Amino acid sequence: MRDTRESRLLLVLLIAIAFALITVDIRGGQDSPVDGARQAAATVFGPIENGVSSAVDPVGNAISAVRDSGDRHDRIAQLERDNAALKAKLGSDDRNRSRLKQLDKMIKVAGEGQYGIKGAEVIAIGAAQGFSWTVTIDVGANDGVKRDMTVLNGDGLVGRVTTVGPDTATVLLANDPDFTVGTRMESSDELGFASGQGDRPLRVELLNGKAKIKKGDRLITFGSQADKPFVPGVPVGVVSRVDPSGGGLTRTIYVKPFASFTKLDIVGVVVTAPRKDPRDEVLPPKPKPTPTPTVTVTVTPSADATDDGQQQ
């Protein structure tokens, strides 16, 4: 542009307009009439600015890194200390370790049985149904939980879902007197029905009155039609007592449950049944019998006996 009178007048006019806009913008504050234009400009030019800054920022970042290196070192050191303290706190928290152990066991059971489970936490005991053995868990219809679904934990059968709300559900525990589940004996396949007896062992009526059962035998769930309310293969418990056979049509045995109903915390609702019966695969390995110590006695001739023999 040539330095003419017109160009100087145009420059003065543009400067005057710029100062006027600045004055209006400052006085307008958040309600400034040019705020919309500013936002539109930011929308258009923002990506361009980011692209340019990415090209020139490494230099600035390097300078800042040198300038703030001491502060950053202090922050990193503090974070490391905080992290170590948190790990120590979690590591020393017996409840957290216990919950992690429960979760690991339950995942292992679900994997061996090929059960699709929804993990849950027990948040209350003894729901509004009276004095029945029930617990409330923190999953419900919004999580895919439905009535008559099997509930288990890392030890074995816990119960079945009886009532479902949007975000919670009630579980009838296997030791409740109103609870009944079909069972199958490990290896022998003897069938029966287990019923809860509160804080006493489960009572099981075997269909075969002449079944050969002994203390220490184990039971699993037989499974229900369409897998509701019970899926097959879930560990139930260990035979603790066998009633003498009286020649009846059935035989009564008593079973100590694998699950402890007074210490429930992490449980799983079986939302997807296995494609095939896992049979005895979910049962834990049988404990190895403790070897009986053998005492060997070695007779060593006494010194007197040796002397007598030499004298003769």
- In whole angstroms, give the CA distance from residue 63 to residue 37: 34
C-alpha dist (Å) from residue 12 to 20, 68, 87, 213, 220: 12, 44, 67, 109, 95
Neighbouring residues of 285: CB distance < 8 A, sequence distance ≥ 6? none
pLDDT digits (tens, 9 = 90+) for 230-245: 999 999 999 999 998 7
pLDDT under 70: residue ranges of the chain: 1-94, 127-131, 246-247, 289-312
Give the closest residue to 254 by CA, choosing from 215, 303, 301: 215
The whole-number pLDDT of residue 299 equals 63
Residue 182 has which token pair? 């079909």
**Per 3-state DSSP, what percentage of the chain is helix, strand, and coil (rounded to 5)?**
40, 25, 40
| Segment holding 238, helix H or strand E | strand 235-242
Residue indicated by tokens 């390995």: 285
The predicted-structure confidence for 82-132, as pLDDT tens digits, reads as follows: 656 655 655 556 677 788 888 989 999 999 999 999 999 999 987 545 568
